[in-house]
Amino acid sequence: MAETALVLGGGGLTGIGWEAGVLAGLAEAGADPGAADVVIGTSAGSVVGAQLTSGSVTPEQLYERQLVDPRGEVAGRVGPAVMSRYALAALRSRDTRAFGRRMGRLALATRTAAGEADRRAVIGRRLLSHAWPERRLLITAVDAATGEFRVFDAASGVGIVDAVAASCAVPGVWPPVPIGGRHWIDGGVRSSANADVADGCRRVLILAPMAGGGGPVPTVRAQAERLAAAGARVELITPDRAARAAFGRNPLDPARRAAAARAGRAQAAAHAAAVKALWQE
């Protein structure tokens, strides 16, 4: 397993902006985590991870991409009815796989604002390369029928656009993604960051725009603590108060992305020393 891991969690378009801002701020402070041996991306984090490892942008350029007019993006929203379905499914599920099946049924039954082809086109425009990077990139998703957790990588035989689209397929908002005769939904259904995929790495940095859990879904902090208990050195960064205010009430609103990015960059200064110590240990 890799020595160092960068874990990028889910959190919608504001999560993409915030993560890009944090990464740029850390790099500016001399604590660039972009050279991690393995990058693990869930939902929003899969987009940032694919961009970061593409070799096409620096962290600064990745940040600047968040500040431009988000044309081509389609706003989504997890409304009260869908949120109620999420909560009820969590209460009724004995484990993450059962929860994944319930979320899969919701996803398959929902008529979404964008169809499969349109949604794939949006994801394709976000990515700077449609080829898997040389650096190890792991992208998480969940089988809509079985609730099975899956990690896609360059050896999985799945195109990176499809893998990222699957990881970003929020149930009840975006359509499930067909891959290999099955349909796949957001990796955040299992965990908002899936930090446990970094098990075995000695140093782990986790950026988690959404760190909560509920029912069988573990919090990111709980996963970070398990990694630390297993011997890893772990740093977890979650949004501060200013960042949460910048996110607003809808993380899927493209208009909030730039503010989230600026907030992430401003927050990075408070974590630079700890990240630098982690990376240079």
Per-residue pLDDT averaged across 209-238, rounded?
A: 96
CB neighbour class for 47 (10 Å; exposed up to 12, middle 13-18, buried from 19) = buried
Backbone angles phi, psi at 179, to 5 degrees: -145, 125
Would you say residue 1 has pLDDT above 70?
A: no
| Site of tokens 């604002």 | 113
What's the confidence (pLDDT) of residue 75? Answer: 86
Residue 252 has pLDDT above 90, yes or no: yes
Q: pLDDT of 117-167, one tens digit each?
A: 999 999 999 999 999 999 999 999 999 999 999 999 999 999 999 999 999
Task: Say if residue 229 is exposed, middle or buried (CB neighbours under 10 Å; 0-12, 13-18, 19+).
Answer: exposed
The answer on pLDDT for 2 being more than 80 is no
pLDDT score, position 81: 84
Question: Each residue of 91-130: pLDDT tens digit?
Answer: 899 999 999 999 999 999 988 877 889 999 999 999 999 9
**Summary mean pLDDT of the chain:** 94
Q: Which of 186, 191, 192, 253 is catalytic?
A: 186
pLDDT for 79 = 82
Q: Which contiguous run of DSSP H or E holds residue 40?
A: strand 38-41
What pLDDT shows up at residue 224? 98
43 is known as an active-site residue: yes
In terms of Cα–Cα distance, which of 258, 224, 233 is closest to 243?
Answer: 258
Nearest to 13 by CA among 177, 184, 237, 174: 174
> Rounded distance, CA 31 to CA 19, Å?
14
- Listed as own residue / partner, the contacts of 78-86 with beta carbons closer than 8 Å and 24 or more positions apart are 78/170, 78/172, 78/173, 78/250, 78/252, 82/106, 82/171, 82/172, 82/173, 85/172, 86/171, 86/172
pLDDT in tens, 68-88: 988 888 888 888 888 888 898
CB 8 within 8 A of CB 39: yes
Convert the pLDDT of each residue in 178-211 to its tens digit. Answer: 999 999 999 999 999 999 999 999 999 999 999 9
Structural domains of the chain, ranges and CATH numbers in brackets = 4-75+112-280 (3.40.1090.10)
Average pLDDT over residues 29-55: 95
